[in-house]
Chains A and B, each alone.
Chain A
Amino acid sequence: MAIRTAKVNKPITIRRWRMNTVLLMAVLAIGSVGLRLGNLQIVQHDTLSQQARGEINQQIKIAPRRGTIRDRAGNVLALDVDRESVFVVPQQINQQNAPRLALMLASLLGKPAAEIQSALQDQTKLWVPLKRWLDPEIAKQIQKLADDEPGLRLIYEPRRVYPQGSLGAQTLGAVNFENVGISGVEGYYDDLLKGVTGTITAEVDAQQNPIWIAPQQSVPASNGADLELTIDPLVQHVIETELKAAVEKHSASGGTVIVLDPRTGAIRGMASYPTFDPNHYNEYPVEMYNQNPAISSLYEPGSTFKIVTISAGLQTRSFTPDSQVNDQGMIDRYDTTLGNFDQNGHGMITPGDVLKFSSNVGALQFNEMTGPAKFYQIVREYGFGKPTGVDLAGEEAGIVHDQKEPDWSPITLDTNAYGQSIAVTPLQLVRMAAAVGNSGKLMRPYILQKSCHSDVCTTIQPHQDGQPISPEVAATVRKMLTVSANHYADQDGTGSTFMMPGYQVAAKTGTSSIPENGGYSNDVIGSVVGLAPADVPRYAILVKIDRPKDDIWGVVTALPVYEAIIEQLLRYERIAPDPRLVGPGQVAGVAFRNGQ
């Protein structure tokens, strides 16, 4: 029988001091961990948790889309388009390839290669912008380069684009590089157009994309309102084309044309020349894109203001259409000799003749009959001396000195009668003509006819600001202006020809002197204001040409523009001509061409 013997193990003995040492070290280690843990979890809890939340939880801004602007026919005048901008991260650029890359980018971006190369090699900067808002084709080619070069980055940025170029530029205005409206409709309605920025507060990944499994708070962006303007594309095109041609032909310094709907005050066209392209506004002088001469340029209206003089006298019953004064060509007032533009007299003339012959002497005598109190009351009621309230940025008030002001003198009443010593904006003047064409009702000019925000549309209603003259006086003045218009076409003195054969149109010309260094410049401003057709006006039109070089009165420059515009607009409105209103040798619908 086998005997199993158990092996006796010797007991392991550990000295107590060793065990205590190990235990002490363990206690110290655990204690230090505990202390560190306590420091992190308790002492620095708020700071660290805030830091962690800051890294993971982020508030991402959602940019709203700026509203689209359209004309009354629905054509887009301004819209936001996402365009790619190119940046470089120099630290990620392969520096050996930098010169070659700079050359390729230079040809695509149209910038000097040296400038691009210095940007690629500038290690002091993290992020260098090369060019913003690339054309899609260029962006595609740069994207191909960026596929092999991680330091070349393309990101989308919203860009305001004006697809019609300079059409209606001064009315539309422009937005700056921060997408803020700085002039025109863009400036006036900036709050409406820009919308409200939204936010997403959420945990994000490395690419700043929200992690959807985590709870998040989202405030959606509210896009800007879409605006529809009263501008008629054809009217705008016609007036811009005719204005540009006239300014260039007569080497004028500039000009303005405004077309209003007299019944509502809606602006159908508003153009000034020279103009600018809002897509590249920064390439033009500041005053070019920051001002709209139609509402901000003050000038002495000259003889076109005689419409106010005559209508004020008729409205206040200071004289009648049959009243007469003696026009001797020149007249002395307050130690000053005042005269007609050609110094020629016309004998005994009526208010209608004052408009027909553009008699300064007649106008001032009739104005003296009216008197300053009544005259300036009507002037104010027409809205001169204060902004019209048009919804465009940068409108001027004009200058009217009346008898209540200390620097007013009686001779001012006389010179005001023919539009001197008073300053108006082109819009104020055409609005006055529109009131004559709208039975005396003065409408507030407006450019916005509808705004739509989130499928809710608001239509703007026309607003009447007053009634300076009665319907009867307005009709009388229109008849006088019709005679005045046809007078320009009356070459043989028979009175049988018409400015616009087939139609009755109203017109009054004016030559404005330009104040300069306390006196008057040798240059002039020629203007025509009128209504077409005269009986039931569809359009109130002002043509103003500044400093034409080959026309001492300016009228020979402005009148053909006026005639060309009404010829096209009446055809556009499809108003059939009246065969009874066609003079010998005239063709219905073909305007008499003054000065041509």
Chain B
Amino acid sequence: MAVNLRQLFPLQQAKVRRSQLARYLSLDGGRYLIAAAVILSLMSLISLGQTGRLATQGYELAQMQTERTQLLRQRSALQLQLSEAASLLKIDLRATALGLRPMTPEQTHYVTIAPPIDSQDKGTTR
């Protein structure tokens, strides 16, 4: 009685086909479908990964922009405080509160400084 091994041992056949590269690469219809699905999956995975990464970076960027806006607000608020503190009117008030008073002209003493000797020799004046 003849036995059809081809039906019973497809693995063996596959091994044979694998050993023959030309035949191995010539896929049948089902394998084409699987290959296409795998390629599509990989492409989707890459696309999904990139989109996710982009979304994460976009979120980080938005966070950084919010932080930047807050820092700029802080900066302008500090600049305002500084300007208010530098106001001559407020300095005047603070100085008066500390017991300081404006200098009177009589308190001003101008000191005449003679020019250096070498420049005197050259007849230059300052």
Q: Which residues of A does B touch, CB under 8 Å?
A: 75-76, 79-82, 136, 156, 161, 163-165, 167, 209-213, 233-234, 237, 567, 571, 576-577, 587-591
Specify which of B58, B79, B105, B106 is in contact with A213 (CB 8 Å cutoff): B58
CB pair A590 B83 closer than 8 Å: no
Closest 3 CB pairs of A and B: A212-B58, A163-B83, A76-B83
Who on chain B is nearest to A164 by CB? B87
B76 on interface, CB distance cutoff 8 Å: yes
Residues on the B chain within 8 Å of A571, using CB = 105, 108
Q: A212-B55, A589-B108 are in contact. List 9 more A-B contacts (CB 8 A).
A: A76-B82, A76-B86, A79-B83, A156-B73, A161-B80, A164-B89, A210-B62, A213-B51, A213-B54
CB pair B106 A587 closer than 8 Å: yes
Specify which of B62, B76, B87, B92 is in contact with A82 (CB 8 Å cutoff): B76
Shortest C-beta distance, B74 to chain A (Å), equals: 10
Shortest C-beta distance, A240 to chain B (Å), equals: 9
Shortest C-beta distance, A195 to chain B (Å), equals: 14
Shortest C-beta distance, A279 to chain B (Å), equals: 11
Shortest C-beta distance, A503 to chain B (Å), equals: 12
CB pair A211 B80 closer than 8 Å: no
Chain B residues 70 to 84 lying within 8 A of chain A, measured CB to CB, are 72-73, 76-77, 79-80, 82-84
CB pair B83 A75 closer than 8 Å: yes
Shortest C-beta distance, B32 to chain A (Å), equals: 32
Specify which of B54, B73, B87 is in contact with A167 (CB 8 Å cutoff): B87
Interface size on B (CB < 8 Å)? 27
B19 on interface, CB distance cutoff 8 Å: no
CB pair B55 A590 closer than 8 Å: no
Who on chain B is nearest to A587 by CB? B106
B110 on interface, CB distance cutoff 8 Å: yes
CB pair B105 A589 closer than 8 Å: yes
B112 on interface, CB distance cutoff 8 Å: yes
CB pair A233 B105 closer than 8 Å: no
B120 on interface, CB distance cutoff 8 Å: no
Residues on the B chain within 8 Å of A567, using CB = 105
Shortest C-beta distance, B3 to chain A (Å), equals: 28
Specify which of B61, B76, B87, B108 is in contact with A81 (CB 8 Å cutoff): B76
Residues on the A chain within 8 Å of B73, using CB = 81-82, 156
CA gap between A210 and B61 in the complex, in Å: 11
CB pair B76 A79 closer than 8 Å: yes
The residue among B59, B61, B83 with the most chain A CB atoms within 10 A of its own CB is B83
CB pair A209 B83 closer than 8 Å: no
Shortest C-beta distance, A181 to chain B (Å), equals: 19
CA gap between A567 and B102 in the complex, in Å: 13
CB pair A237 B88 closer than 8 Å: yes
CB pair A213 B55 closer than 8 Å: yes
Who on chain B is nearest to A162 by CB? B83
CA gap between A233 and B86 in the complex, in Å: 10
B41 on interface, CB distance cutoff 8 Å: no
24 contacts between A and B (CB under 8 A): A76-B82, A76-B86, A79-B80, A79-B83, A81-B76, A81-B80, A82-B73, A163-B84, A163-B87, A164-B89, A165-B87, A165-B89, A167-B89, A210-B62, A212-B62, A213-B51, A213-B58, A237-B92, A571-B105, A571-B108, A587-B106, A588-B110, A589-B105, A591-B105
CA gap between A561 and B123 in the complex, in Å: 42
CA gap between A156 and B66 in the complex, in Å: 13
CA gap between A139 and B86 in the complex, in Å: 25
B57 on interface, CB distance cutoff 8 Å: yes
CB pair B88 A233 closer than 8 Å: yes
Residues on the B chain within 8 Å of A82, using CB = 72-73, 76
CB pair B76 A75 closer than 8 Å: no
Residues on the B chain within 8 Å of A79, using CB = 76, 79-80, 83
Specify which of A76, A167, A589 is in contact with B88 (CB 8 Å cutoff): A167
Specify which of A156, A164, A588 is in contact with B83 (CB 8 Å cutoff): A164
CA gap between A136 and B80 in the complex, in Å: 12
Q: Given known contacts A79-B83, A233-B88, A587-B106, is B59 in contact with A136 (CB within 8 Å)?
A: no
Shortest C-beta distance, A83 to chain B (Å), equals: 9
Who on chain B is nearest to A74 by CB? B86
Specify which of A80, A136, A167, A212 is in contact with B61 (CB 8 Å cutoff): A212
Who on chain A is nearest to B57 by CB? A212
Chain B residues 84 to 111 lying within 8 A of chain A, measured CB to CB, are 84, 86-89, 92, 105-106, 108, 110
CB pair B77 A81 closer than 8 Å: yes
CA gap between A422 and B38 in the complex, in Å: 96
CA gap between A572 and B67 in the complex, in Å: 44
Residues on the A chain within 8 Å of B87, using CB = 75, 163-165, 167
Shortest C-beta distance, B102 to chain A (Å), equals: 9
